[in-house]
Amino acid sequence: MPIYEYKCNNCGEDFSLIQSITRLSSDLKCPNCNSADIKKTISAFSCLFSGSSAKKTSDLSYSPSS
């Protein structure tokens, strides 16, 4: 399941949740102040490359050679 990041518009708390992609954000509340006034934030992603020619760490500028 993916990890989603949120920010509470009431208290400013940033928090992350592991949840199904089908769960509605309107059902969520801030763990700090219990407010439902939260917004999903944009976050970076991570990936793992495997194979003999893959880099050992993820790098957004990585492009495989032909």
The number of folded domains in the chain is 1
pTM above 0.85, yes or no: no
Q: What is the SS3 string spanning 4-47?
A: EEEEECCCCCEEEEECCCCCCHHHCCCCCCCCCCEEECCCCCCC
> What is the pLDDT at residue 66?
46
Shortest CA distance to 38 belongs to which of 54, 16, 62? 16
- For residue 10, the enclosing domain spans 3-40
Average pLDDT over residues 28-52: 83
Which of 56 and 1 is assigned the larger pLDDT?
1
Q: Give the residue carrying structure tokens 């969520």.
A: 28
In a domain, 58, yes or no: no
In a domain, 62, yes or no: no
